[in-house]
Structure 1
């Protein structure tokens, strides 16, 4: 057992991880709006709106927690979350491309969603009415939820009428909102650590959009990353043809946020998987802070993040290829050949990492790959990653099908 505090295991549930990202987004926004108001820093509204939509989408896809309430994580919910993620990604990348759509969605999520959640908090039989009987930490849970929902409504009011409050007032509200979310994350972490949920065993059900989506968190985050890379690659083609504007800072920032979620939730870093220690979690939080800042404040962090992400992609791609090739060279000739799916996974992973190396090299050495070709490379990388996810999901569902019945017994 290690005595180093940084190397101790971290057991943050995914819900707490996403709440931490939400809290950091609001706290950093609140802190940055003061120098923005003073004219010291620039400000990119599209990056902020896209980031917030992306976080809403992430919560919906991974947990089934929509802006309007909890629901089963069905394929329909994942599809809806994916659409929101796409809108958020495009809003980040292409200034003003989505018009008022991101703002209206956020007003709906913060405003209508906040009111809906507040009503559910006090009217639902499974929330406040039960929590008050438990007492203790559940009193804090009620207060934290109420604060988050109330300030969510406040933020919706500010978004719907930009003249309703001054920038310093909005900044102050964002800071309080961020602290409220942080308070909720702390409460949930206490509850989960003391009373871990056992969860229901998954079961196979009939197909359809309303069927439960048997996707692991690993595969969902890979799906999100693949979607991000695919959209980036597709958009870079018209951008390099001069047909669209592009925000490099928001693109880098959102990529850092995706990296941070993978690191904090799973221990998966851009250079490979690690044990989810507190050191990895802290590093992930630093990544998140840099990414959020880059989404909100354009250009300032672009040189640093370009070098960092380029280096991570280059080293990560090389390390992954070495990890794939080295065991293959040691396989005895007499050993039976791997099955078709395993071969496809190996080839897809190898191809993806070669493309990742190319992307990393293009960031470290400007103009080594022409912009149009880079767009094609990233498009191919995204497609390969999505294909890899489909293979992993196929294996995952086949594995579950061996151990769980096709229909649940009632």
Structure 2
């Protein structure tokens, strides 16, 4: 029997996935802004700004693609990406806590970054000048890149001066940017099929594997969420549960798109997994931008996914471990540390999922401590996985 194409390995490159996700985010934003400016729907600007910052951070962490050019995913680049992600997460969760910092940062990333990329494309010898000599699909690449960079600069102006034009034009600009990103993604995908890249950068050169980079982002998310819930439950600062759920769904979607990691386990990055990643991400984007509209549905979904994922992972870790202990064979200490971290992390995940389904089960202060502990365990797990990877690389024959 021929396997369904939906379950076969997806051939979308990571760059194309990032462009499509960004395009989807801007298209959803553009569609939602029409009823928002008509007064039909509420609007949470901090949720939008935080979401955009997290998407920028994802590009930096996943591929080293910054608004100022492409770099290797080394320590400084990863630090910049995680810093941008942290600002985005705090901006989403806590309304107006950072003042104009998110607006200024987005203006810099969109505006100055767009202008820099445009000039780089025009002046660099290995970009537009070289692409013109190839002709064909590369001419479309020049048009697509120019359109994206120019609209990006326009978006920066509208973020910096929000009342400069009527709301309908702001929504139209968001739609135009989304369409430009999708068009660029299609062009890049066609080029990558006709001219496959010679090779991919090794993880050793980038510092963190892509899987572990995603683990780092989730660890930072959980740690910040837990720490912020402490003053929130003391009544010291406001909080947006809608944006929190939305951003969590966006991170679920990003992990599925990037490495096929779902809340219930890791799978091959098939078309089905990518489709679900876009669905999760789309729901999260709506929840970040429009407060309250999906809180009930996403609360139930996140709760069920966390409980199911925690149970499945505990079973996957415990059963092989028990068999190895019965066989009497030695278990490496680092394996014990990794498995222990996985078990503790998923116990905390199940506890978090249960609190999502059963309100007031745990006091808010304790829940914040649990989430912060979950973030710390994730970061500890990341450290142990990186230690194991370095040991394995040293032991590989030259």
The interval holding the TM-score normalised by the smaller chain is over 0.9
What SS class does the counterpart of residue 73 from structure 1 fall into? coil
| Contact 2:22-2:55 at 8 Å conserved across structures | yes
Per-residue deviation at 1:8? Answer: 2.4
TM-score when scaled to structure 1? Answer: 0.94
Q: Which residue of 2 aligns with 1:151?
A: 151
Q: How many residues align?
A: 398
Per-residue deviation at 1:202? Answer: 4.2
Q: Which residue of 1 aligns with 2:253?
A: 260
The aligned runs of 1:158-307 (5 Å cut-off) are 158-199=158-199, 202=202, 212-307=205-300
Query: Where in structure 1 are there 5+ consecutive unaligned residues?
Result: 205-211, 406-410
1:283 and 1:357 mapped to 2: Cα distance? 22
| Contact 1:13-1:265 at 8 Å conserved across structures | no
1:16 aligns with 2:16: yes
Match of 2:361 among 365, 368, 376: 368
Q: Kindly tell me: are residues 336 and 330 of structure 1, through their superposed partners in 2, closer, same or farther at Cα, counting changes over 3 Å?
A: closer
1:401 and 1:195 mapped to 2: Cα distance? 34
Q: Which residue of 2 aligns with 1:85?
A: 85
1:159 and 1:288 mapped to 2: Cα distance? 23
| Contact 2:73-2:208 at 8 Å conserved across structures | no
Q: Which residue of 2 aligns with 1:207?
A: none
| Contact 2:203-2:209 at 8 Å conserved across structures | no
| Contact 1:203-1:404 at 8 Å conserved across structures | no
Q: Which residue of 2 aligns with 1:391?
A: 384
1:136 aligns with 2:102: no
| Contact 2:225-2:368 at 8 Å conserved across structures | yes
Query: Where in structure 2 are there 5+ consecutive unaligned residues?
Result: none
1:8 and 1:328 mapped to 2: Cα distance? 31
2:66 and 2:12 mapped to 1: Cα distance? 20
Per-residue deviation at 1:199? Answer: 2.5
Q: Which residue of 1 aligns with 2:340?
A: 347
Moved over 6 A (4+): none
Q: In the TM superposition, what whole-angstrom CA distance separates every residue of 1:265-309 from its partner, at most 9, and x where no partner exists? A: 222110111222211111111111100000100011001000000
Q: Which residue of 1 aligns with 2:108?
A: 108
Q: Which residue of 2 aligns with 1:330?
A: 323
Per-residue deviation at 1:326? Answer: 1.5
Q: Kindly tell me: are residues 63 and 201 of structure 1, through their superposed partners in 2, closer, same or farther at Cα, counting changes over 3 Å?
A: closer
Per-residue deviation at 1:203? Answer: 9.0
1:403 and 1:327 mapped to 2: Cα distance? 25
2:75 and 2:397 mapped to 1: Cα distance? 19
Q: Which residue of 1 aligns with 2:57?
A: 57
1:41 and 1:203 mapped to 2: Cα distance? 45
